[in-house]
Amino acid sequence: MTNITYTVSITNPQLHLFDVELKIDKWEKKQLNLKMPVWTPGSYLVREYARHLQNFQVKGNKQNNLSYQKKTKNHWLIETDNETTINVKYQIYANELTVRTNHLDETHGFFTGAALFLYVPNFENNPFKVVINSPEKDWKITTSLPKITEENNSFFAENFDCLVDSPFEIGLQKQYDFTVENKPHQWIIWGNGNIDAKRVIEDTKKIIETESKIFSGLPYEDYKFILHLSASGFGGLEHKNCCVLNYPRFAFKKEEKYYRFMQLVAHEFFHLWNVKRIRPKALEKFDYDQENYTTSLWFSEGTTSYYDILIPLRAGIYNRSTFLDLLSKDISNYLNISGRKIQPLAESSFDAWIKLYRRDAYSNNNQISYYLKGELVTLLLDLMIRKNSGNQKSFDDVMAIMWDKFGKKEIGFTPEELKTEIEKVANTNLKEFFHLYLETTEEIPFNQYFEPFGLVLRGKKEDNDCPYLGLTVQKEGCIEKITFVEANSPAGKAGVDAGDELLAIDGFRVTSETLSERLQDYRAGDAIALTIFHQEELKTVKIKLAPPQASSYQVTVMKNLTKAQKENLHSWLGR
């Protein structure tokens, strides 16, 4: 069997360069193809990792240079000259601190496999060895790959998927060990901040136990939470036996921000079942060379988003009032994105590669996030199942069935199979439901589904006395920049564009801080003269203001609930 070993060396971390050596033994062909992945599972965007590769060199076992040709942006073809041992060396520039890229400085090195390792096409199922050469003795190495016991700093990956799915955190780090359900867990924290590790560990235990109940146990032998405390970053990326999180270093004291962090933990941990093992058919086998299209990310990501606000409630981290506030914010966000009227949910999933992660100033006008709408469609399905079954079943049963039928064996599901399993649990034909809320832009009837649970969604009253203009302004330095204009709003119809500079209304200066107050002096139907700089040209446009529109919504408990409503609400959100 061909032996493939990666050696990753850190010599001058301040230069942000990983030195990588790929050694291939027992090669028997006249040519060797090497490729760099263009994306990493869990982050659905072609990120062109090869753009960070430099100083590519190839030698044979006699240290003679071998000729090669770059065939495409991420493909190298090497003439092996009958050599059986091939040594490839290259460097990867690593100065992007996210959960899906690489970062190297004088305190640590972090990398994800897809962004660092070249692979040999058709040899993805080979086993791999990874050797780490770190610059300092006190630098620790954390990865979910098993160690090779007889060798220092060496690790084993059974195939390339496993290698990509096992990020490395190398350097100065705090390690906290804890046990849940007799299985070892770790928090690995890089960076400094105001995090209370003891509190985080206790709440993490609750999340693990709560999610484990849904799936009847934990599908791993050990698990690691890798956290980067950064200046202002935010994000998470799931892996089979670990997750990587990025969070602002001083965002742990305020309850609202702490709860957001625990939602992030709940989200990425839930993914170890939903998407890492319960995968759409299109993601059953990864193609690292191009996009992998699926219409089911509404379930893989959106359903996970629904559970990330529900799990901390069940775990006792926050109460029902906080849950309803968080749900209200998500619904408010959804109802304030006009793109929900343009892009269906299934299309949002399919077009993730070109839209969700490539946002611009117009994005809210023509797209909707499958995270956000998927969460709300899952909410409707959960409430429907609970109501139809007299609270004997819930969407938990869907997740348990998907785990038993697809996740345990890691067999990909089709969109039709997912719909069938949901229909079985709901005990009703959902063809029209799926058509309306996955394939069209039909508005979601929240109150129709909330009413049996004694809840109602209302626009907040303070939003009702300000006429609608349809733009968002943000101060950038000394400029009042218009950052978003809703397409069919009064401002949009008048030709105001994102990027324009707001100057005045009816001849008087207005800013982002005073805009709402100024608009309250007018009524719907009034005409105003809006003065802007449009592409550096002074311009005044006449705009007719529209009736007020709610910008925020609140889910509240009705007064005088019936017995049935009380039972439904308590069954769903606890007492």
Task: Identify the pLDDT of residue 109.
Answer: 97
Strands 154-157 and 140-143: unpaired
**Domain 465-544 CATH superfamily:** PDZ domain (2.30.42.10)
* Cα(509)–Cα(188) distance, integer angstroms: 51
Query: Where does 281-455 sit in CATH, by number?
Result: 1.10.390.10
- In this predicted structure, the answer to whether residue 76 has a pLDDT above a threshold of 70 is yes
Instruction: Give the model's confidence band at 421: pLDDT under 50 very low, under 70 low, under 90 confident, else very high.
Output: very high
Going by pLDDT thresholds of 50, 70 and 90, the confidence category of residue 461 is: low
Residues 6+ apart with CB under 8 A from 382: 306, 394, 395, 572
What CATH code is assigned to 3-171? 2.60.40.3650
The per-residue pLDDT for 84 is 93
Inter-CA distances, 113 with 75, 92, 278, Å: 17, 12, 22
Instruction: Print the SS3 string covering 280-328.
Output: EHHHCCCCCCCCCCCCCHHHHHHHHHHHHHHHHHHCCCCCHHHHHHHHH
CATH fold for domain 174-253? Zincin-like (3.30.2010)
Q: Residue 463 — very low, low, confident or very high, per pLDDT cuts 50/70/90?
A: low
- The 10s digit of each residue's pLDDT in 440-460 is 999 999 999 999 999 999 998
CA-to-CA distance for 113 and 162, rounded, in angstroms? Answer: 9
pLDDT at 62 over 80: no
Domain spans in the chain, listed from the N-terminal domain onward: 3-171, 174-253, 281-455, 465-544
* Tokens linked to 222: 């050990």
CB 110 within 8 A of CB 96: no
- Neighbour tally for 131: CB within 10 Å: 17
Report d(CA 575, CA 573) in Å as an integer: 7
SS (HEC) of 221-269: CCEEEEEEEECCCCEEEECCCEEEEEEECCCCCCHHHHHHHHHHHHHHH
CATH topology of 3-171 equal to that of 174-253?
Answer: no
Lowest mean pLDDT among 86-90, 217-221, 239-243, 462-466: 462-466
Q: Average per-residue pLDDT in the chain?
A: 96
Q: Are 22 and 123 in contact (CB under 8 A)?
A: no
* pLDDT value of position 174: 97
